Amino acid sequence: MKKLLLIPLLASGFFFGQNTQDAQALKKISTQILTQGEAYNDLHFLTKKIGNRLSGSPAYEKAVQWGAEQLKKAGAEKIWLQPVKVPVWERGTESLFIKTPSGTWTKMKMLSLGNSEGTQGKDLVGDLIMVNTLEEFNQLKESQVRDKIVFFNYIFRQDFIETFEGYSDAGKYRSSTASLVAKKGGKAVIVRSISTAVDDVPHTGGMHYDEGSKKIPAVALGPLGADRLAQLLKTSKVSAKLNSNCGMKGEKITHSVIGEIKGTLDQKVIAVGGHLDSWDVGEGAQDDGAGVVQSIEVIRTFKKLNIKPKHTIRAVLFANEENGNRGGETYADSLNVKKEPHLFALESDSGGYSPRGFGLAMTAEQSAQVKSWLPLFEPYGIQHINDSYPGTDIIPMKKYGVALAGLIPDSQRYFDLHHSESDVFEAVNRRELLLGATVMTQLIYMIDQHW
Amino acid sequence: MKKLLLIPLLASGFFFGQNTQDAQALKKISTQILTQGEAYNDLHFLTKKIGNRLSGSPAYEKAVQWGAEQLKKAGAEKIWLQPVKVPVWERGTESLFIKTPSGTWTKMKMLSLGNSEGTQGKDLVGDLIMVNTLEEFNQLKESQVRDKIVFFNYIFRQDFIETFEGYSDAGKYRSSTASLVAKKGGKAVIVRSISTAVDDVPHTGGMHYDEGSKKIPAVALGPLGADRLAQLLKTSKVSAKLNSNCGMKGEKITHSVIGEIKGTLDQKVIAVGGHLDSWDVGEGAQDDGAGVVQSIEVIRTFKKLNIKPKHTIRAVLFANEENGNRGGETYADSLNVKKEPHLFALESDSGGYSPRGFGLAMTAEQSAQVKSWLPLFEPYGIQHINDSYPGTDIIPMKKYGVALAGLIPDSQRYFDLHHSESDVFEAVNRRELLLGATVMTQLIYMIDQHW
C-alpha cells in the first residue's frame, strides 16, 4: 500500500518548487496532528463533562467557558466572547401513546421537534391518519384532516450515495409540515425521523411555523416505531395521546467564542469554525463537537509548529446554529460593523468522519485556484473539491463577499445519529476526527500562504 | 450536494454509448443493494449467533453450514464444500502478571499471539527487558537477553495516512520476534499490540517460529498496558509471570464454502470472496465477516436483478486465512488440477468500511482497462484504482495467471479493532458495508461484461 501515498503527487508533477514546499508543509501538519493532536481528548471533555448544550441552556454557558479556556490552552493570543441573542426553547416532559386495536395504550419512543410548541401538559388525543408523502397530504381535503393527528411516514431515501442528499430530500417533512397540517385543521403532526439507521431512535431537529400559523405540536418517531405504526394503520383505526411541555421561553443573551493568532503581514482574517451548541439529546459529538475541537486544533497546530501566519487565523465557536443561526448571523453582521476584512472562512459541520472533499462558495478565480490544489490534498483522502454549500454558520458571510468553504467528510454514518441520543463521544473515531482537523489546517495554511 | 454525484461522470464524457449503459447498470446495482441488501442482517447472524470462528474450531464448522445455507438463499445454483487441511491452534487459559516495585503482582490484559506455544500451564517467571525497536534488540548481546523476557514496545506509526502502512511497518514485531529472542536465549516475548486505538485492548494475530527455533511463548499487551509497563521499566526492575496453555494441536480437515451462478456464454469463472475464519476473540465482524457477507451479496444481487452473467460468478468463503492461508492455497491449487479457467478474482478483507479504491494485480493491459473505468466508480466513493496487493486468500491464484483485485475501504478504524475483542458487529456500519458490497458487485459486473 505504500505506493498509494506518493502516486497522486508524483503523477501530477507537484514535487517541484513552491508545490514541494507546500507538500512538505502539509505533511508536517499531518504528522503533528495525527501523532500529537488533542482534539479527541477535547471532545471527550465537551461531550462527557458538559454534554448536550442547546443555546440558552445552562450547559451551553459551561461550553462557552470551556471553549474560551481551550482556545487559550491551544495558544490563541486574543480570546473574546461575542454576545448573541438566542431563542430559548425547552423540551420539558413529553410522552406519546398509541391505542392499539386491543384497546391498550402503548408508549412510543418519541422526541418533540425542536422549536415546536407542546400540549401545555394536557393530553392531546386524536385519531391518526397516515400519508407517505407531501403529495398524498396535499390531496387530502380539509374535512379529512380536521381534528386529526397526521403521521408523515416519509422514508429516508437510502439510494443516494451521499446521505446529505437524502437529508435534503426529507428535510421538509420535519421543518414544514406542522403549519400545513394546522392549515387544514389538524391537531398535531408525527413525522418519521430523518434517519439512515434501522433502529427505534427518534431524531429531533429544527422545525418552524409559518407566519400566522396555529402552533400545533410536532413530534418524531424512530424508524422502527414508524414502521410499527404504519403497519398498524394498514388494518386498524388508531388514536394517539400526546402530552408535552415543550415550547419557546423567550430570548436570552449568550455568546459565540472567538480566539485568534495575529497575522505577521496584515490584519486580514482567515476564520475557521464549528458550532458550539447542539440539540438537547445525546452529547452533540459529531454535530458539532467535532467541528469545534477541530477548529481549536487548527489554532493549536499553527502554534505547535511555530507557523507565523501572514494573516490572522481565527477560530469561531458559533452559538445557536441548531435553532436560529443567530451566532452565524451576528458574526457576519459584526464584520460589516467593524469593517474587518475577511479573506476566507472554513466550516466543519458535517461530522468528524474521514475527510473526502471541500465544498467551495467563492469567486470563480478563487475556486479554480483552490481546485488546482487537489493533488496536494489527495494523499490525505480528499477526492473532490467542488462548488457547493459551505456551512450554515458561515453562509451569512457570503453577502459580505467572504470566500467560503466547508469540510465534506464521508457521509455514510452521519444520519444514523444526527440530532439523536446516539450522537455520543463513542460514535467519533480518533483518527477520523484528527484527519479532518488535518485537512482543515492544511487548507487554512494554503490560503494563508497564497492569498 | 446534488452536483457531487454527476460532475465526475459528466466531466469525463462517460454518458455516451456503452458507458451510459454501464453507468445505468451500476446505478441499478447500487440502488438494489442500498435499499434491499441483506449483508448487514447476514453479518448479524454470523457474528452474534456463531461468533468468532478460528478454523479448526467447532464454531468454524457452524459457519461452514451457515455459509452454504446463505449462498443457497442468495440464489447460488450450485454450492459445494472444498476440503482444506488446517492447523488446529487453541488458546486455552492464559494470564500475565507483572511484579511492581511494591512487590505485588498485577494482572495485565493480554492475549497469546496466534500459533504460539504457551507455558504448558506452568508459571514462567523472568526479569523483563524492554526495547523499542528491533534495531535496539539487535544490539543486545546474548548475555543481556539470556533467561530474560523481552518486551518489544514498538509504537504503531500514526503518521501514515493509510493505516495499512503502519500495520506493515509494525508487523514484524508480532510475526517474527519470538525466534529472534529464543536465538539469544530469552524465555518469552511480550509485544505491544499492533493497534491504532488508545485503549487497553490486546490484539492477537499470527506469529511464526523459524525452522529449528525453540518455541518460546509470545503474547501481546494492549497499548495502554504497554505504556504502563514501559513507564515502570524506566525506573524499576520488573519481573513477569506468564501462564498459558495455548499451542498447536495437530491438523484437521475442514472446508471452504463455494457457491456459483453459471455463465450463459462460457465456463470461465469470475470469483469473489472473503475469509470465513476469524481469530478466536471478538466476533470477526470487520475481519472478515464483512468480506463474507459482501461476497454473498454479490451473488444475491445478480439473482435479484436477474442479471444473466456471461461467465460463471462464484463466491468463495475461504477457510484458514488467519493462521495458515490453507483455504486460499487449496483453492488456487484446485484450479490447476481441474483446469478451471479463472478470468478474475476479487477479495474483500480490509473491513466493511466506506469503499475508497481497488488494488489490482493483473497484466498491464488489463490494469489499464480497469483504471479507465474509474469515472464510473467515482460516484460511489472510489477515489483510486492502483496496482497493489489484492488480498491474502486470492494471492495464491497469481501464479496461475488469474487477474486479481482487492477492495480498498477507508482504513482509519480498522486497526482499532483488528484481531481483538473489539471486532464486533456493532463496529460495522450498515451503509458502509452495503456500499462496499455495491462497488464489489459493480466491478464483477464490469469484468463480466467486458472480459
Q: Which of A34, A387, A388 sits opposite B158 (nearest CB)?
A: A34
Least Cα separation, residue A2 to chain B (angstroms): 6
Residue B412 φ/ψ region, left for φ over 0, alpha for ψ in the -120 to 50 degree band, beta for the rest: alpha
Contact yes or no for B383 and A381 at CB 8 A: yes
At the second CATH level, the architecture of A92-245 is 3-Layer(bba) Sandwich (3.50)
Contact yes or no for B431 and A7 at CB 8 A: no
pLDDT in tens, A342-367: 999 999 999 999 999 999 999 999 99
Q: Which residue of B has its CA nearest to A431?
A: B412
Least Cα separation, residue A35 to chain B (angstroms): 6
Dig out the grid coordinates for A332 from the structure.
457576519
CA–CA distance, A442 with A448 (Å, rounded to integer)? 10
E strand residue ranges, B77-147? 78-90, 94-99, 105-108, 110-112, 124-131
3-state helix/strand/coil string of chain A? CHHHHHHHHHHCCCCCHHHHHHHHHHHHHHHHHHHHCCHHHHHHHHHHHHCCCCCCCHHHHHHHHHHHHHHHHHCCCEEEEEEEEEEEEECCCEEEEEECCCCCEEEECEEECECCCCCCCCCEEEEEEEECCHHHHHCCCHHHHCCCEEEECCCCCCCCCCHHHHHHHHHHHHHCHHHHHHHCCCCEEEEECCCCCCCCCCCCCECCCCCCCCCCCEEEECHHHHHHHHHHHHHCCCEEEEEECCEEEEEEEEEEEEEEECCCCCCCEEEEEEECCCCCCCCCHHHHHHHHHHHHHHHHHHHHCCCCCCCEEEEEEECCCCCCCHHHHHHHHHHHHHCCCEEEEEECCCCCCCEEEEEEECCHHHHHHHHHCHHHHHHHCCCEEEECCCCCCCHHHHHHCCEEEEEEECCCCHHHHCCCCCCCHHHCCHHHHHHHHHHHHHHHHHHHHHC
Average pLDDT over residues A172-193: 98
Least Cα separation, residue A292 to chain B (angstroms): 21
- DSSP H or E segment with residue B189: strand B188-192
Q: What's the pLDDT at B16?
A: 55
- Site from B412, B415, B417, B424 to mutate, A interface, most A CB atoms within 10 angstroms: B412
Average pLDDT over residues B279-303: 98
Provide, as residue numbers in chain B, all residues whose Cβ is less than 8 Å from the Cβ of A162.
1, 4-5
Contact yes or no for B435 and A7 at CB 8 A: no
Vertex A360 angle, CA A358 and A364, to 5°: 135
Q: Is the pLDDT of residue A189 over 70?
A: yes
Q: Which of A161, A383, A410 sits opposite B5 (nearest CB)?
A: A161
Q: What b/e readout covers A201-213, taking b as 16+ CB neighbours within 10 angstroms?
A: bbbbbbbbbeeee
Q: How confident is the model at residue A16 (pLDDT cuts 50, 70, 90)?
A: low
Beta bridge mates, A57: none
pLDDT in tens, B380-400: 999 999 999 999 999 999 999
CA–CA distance, B163 with B413 (Å, rounded to integer)? 8
Q: What's the pLDDT at B15?
A: 47
Decide if B412 contacts A354 (C-beta within 8 A): yes
Q: Which residue of B has its CA nearest to A382?
A: B383
Contact yes or no for B5 and A383 at CB 8 A: no
Least Cα separation, residue A267 to chain B (angstroms): 33
Contact yes or no for B197 and A416 at CB 8 A: no
- Site from A2, A3, A4 to mutate, B interface, most B CB atoms within 10 angstroms: A4
Give the C-alpha distances (Å, rounded to integers) separating B104 from A285, B240, B325: 40, 11, 42
Indicate the burial class of B267 (C-beta count within 10 angstroms; 0-12, 13-18, 19 or more).
exposed
Q: What ipTM did this prediction achieve?
A: 0.95
Share of chain B above pLDDT 90, in %: 93
Dig out the grid coordinates for B111 from the structure.
492475549
Number of inter-chain CB pairs under 8 A, A vs B: 123
Vertex A349 angle, CA A348 and A355, to 5°: 55
Q: Which residue of A has its CA nearest to B199?
A: A430
pLDDT in tens, A82-118: 999 999 999 999 999 999 888 899 999 999 999 999 9
Share of chain A above pLDDT 70, in %: 96
Q: Is the pLDDT of residue A2 over 60?
A: no
Contact yes or no for A386 and B4 at CB 8 A: yes
Note the pTM of the prediction, 2 decimals. Answer: 0.95
Q: What's the pLDDT at A13?
A: 47
pLDDT in tens, A196-230: 999 999 999 999 999 999 999 999 999 999 999 99
Q: Could you tell me the fold of the domain covering B2-89+250-450?
A: Aminopeptidase (3.40.630)
Going by C-alpha positions, the residue among B151, B152, B171, B176 that lies closest to residue B160 is B171
Q: Which of A196, A387, A389 sits opposite B431 (nearest CB)?
A: A196
Contact yes or no for A4 and B196 at CB 8 A: no
Contact yes or no for B359 and A163 at CB 8 A: no
Provide, as residue numbers in chain B, all residues whose Cβ is less than 8 Å from the Cβ of A35.
158-159
pLDDT in tens, B60-87: 999 999 999 999 999 999 999 999 999 9
Going by C-alpha positions, the residue among A139, A85, A392, A94 that lies closest to residue A253 is A85
- DSSP H or E segment with residue B274: strand B269-275
Provide, as residue numbers in chain A, all residues whose Cβ is less than 8 Å from the Cβ of B354.
354, 410, 412
Residues of chain B with CATH 3.50.30.30: 92-245
Least Cα separation, residue A324 to chain B (angstroms): 22
Give the C-alpha distances (Å, rounded to integers) separating A18 from A6, A15, A450, B29, B115: 17, 8, 10, 44, 51
Contact yes or no for A7 and B386 at CB 8 A: yes
The better pLDDT of the pair B9, A34 is held by A34
CATH classification of A8-89+250-450, choosing from 3.40.50.1100, 2.60.40.2140, 3.40.630.10, 3.30.2310.20?
A: 3.40.630.10
Q: Which of B1, B8, B383 sits opposite A164 (nearest CB)?
A: B1
Residues of chain A with CATH 3.40.630.10: 8-89+250-450
Contact yes or no for A4 and B416 at CB 8 A: no
pLDDT in tens, B10-20: 444 444 577 89
pLDDT mean across residues, chain B: 95
